[in-house]
Structure 1
Amino acid sequence: MMRHCGWLATIFLLPLLSFNIYTSANNIPSGHLTAPSWANPCLLTNTATSGLNYLVMNAPENIEATIGGDLYRVRLLPGSMDADKVFLLIDKTDYRLYVYEDVTLRKIYKVTFGNSDLTDKQMQGDRRTPEGVFHISNKRMDARWSRFMLLDYPNETSWTRFHDRQSRGVIPANATIGDGVGIHGVEEAAGINDQYVEQRINWTLGCISLKSADIAELYNVLKVGTPVVIRR
């Protein structure tokens, strides 16, 4: 369904919500757009799209230069947000994970990935992080990575891209798409600590890694079903 309703626009335009939102922009009423709307572009109405258009027209170019450091230090507490309105934006170029509640940017985390080639995942074993609109399908405590939140990769869009690449000879005909992609902490037992995230050292097999304290905090405020947009 996503390929028929312009989901790419969501992935590439959604980061523009990062600007002027967390300071309570006066031009967009509270509750105007919700996480499910952004996750499913088919639900966007002309009225909803007007909020996005405003942000596109008024957004600065550099998120990091605009937001300052406050949203790295703020704490997210269980029950402090409406879980039904929360969604995540993961920007591979910025090595950042942005937590939104409705149209409000609530927190920013530093993250790292797998392959230093930050392009879209193509097949099993390439250690790339997939791009698109996903959802958290499972949460669990994990002895290796502290916490693990599984994404519903591969989804319909992932399979469409995969088969298209096979048909064009971009990937081998016997390639497999892969699975098990999620959001997790570092791997302390293997000597992989928070500095890997701080220094942008890509070490995973394609998952998104946060620092130990950050994954613990994020895990406690998200629910199964939370939309996750991953882009470059």
Structure 2
Amino acid sequence: MQKIALLLGVLLVLAGCGSSKFETYDGPEVTRIILFKEERRMHLMHGNTALKSYDVDLGFAPLGHKEQEGDGRTPEGAYVIDRRNPNSQFHLSLGISYPNADDRAYAAERGFSPGGDIFIHGRPKKFSKLPQDWTQGCIAVTNREMQKIYAMVKNGTPIWIYE
């Protein structure tokens, strides 16, 4: 009976050692995200203090503001994190509220779709050999970094994206 109890104890310990893509965070609140596209650098901010900073990959045509679906650009301007996808094909992802009202109006005036589904996301192994700036307009970090970002950033967090 002692051997069975010991075996069960060992199995419980080993089960707890399994890696999870979901982390916890109990530090200062991320009050905003700032991204500088030209520098390929994203900062998670608490007030005026950067809590974490990350190198990022962007859309395959990174310069300029996203104007229409398929242009490969990462949007610029003020948005918010508006959704979470724990089952993303890109590990984990946080949705950005692009297109906003101005983006939709601009595209409508010109007769095209502004696109959408812009996320901060990871980089699965099948995309590990791609060059810099490979997304369709999203912001990509490593999977390990995405786990930390996913834990730190809450829905409703403002994101400012600059050229």
Unaligned runs of 5+ in 1: 1-75, 167-172
Q: What residue in structure 1 maps to residue 114 of structure 2?
A: 177
Deviations 1:45-91 (A, max 9, x none): xxxxxxxxxxxxxxxxxxxxxxxxxxxxxxx96110124xx210111
Asked whether 1:107 is paired with 2:52, we answer: yes
Q: What residue in structure 2 maps to residue 82 of structure 1?
A: 29
Query: What aligned pairs does 1:1-232 form with structure 2 within 5 A after superposition?
Result: 78-83=25-30, 86-163=31-108, 166=110, 173=111, 175-188=112-125, 190=126, 192-193=127-128, 196=130, 201-232=132-163
Q: Whose RCO is larger (CA < 8 A, sep 6+)?
A: 2
TM-score scaled to structure 1, two decimals?
Answer: 0.57
TM-score scaled to structure 2, two decimals?
Answer: 0.79
Unaligned runs of 5+ in 2: 1-22
Whether the aligned pair in 1 keeps the contact of 2:37 and 2:62 (CA below 8 Å) is no
Question: Separation in 1 of the partners of 2:88 and 2:65?
Answer: 28
Greater CA drift, 215-224 or 109-118? 109-118
Of Structure 1 and Structure 2, the greater strand share is in 2
Deviations 1:95-119 (A, max 9, x none): 0101110111221101011123421
> Which is higher, the Rg of structure 1 or of structure 2?
2
Q: How many residues align?
A: 141
How far residue 143 of structure 1 moved from its aligned partner, in angstroms, is: 4.6
Q: 4+ runs of 1 displaced by more than 6 Å?
A: none
Question: Separation in 2 of the partners of 1:225 and 1:106?
Answer: 18
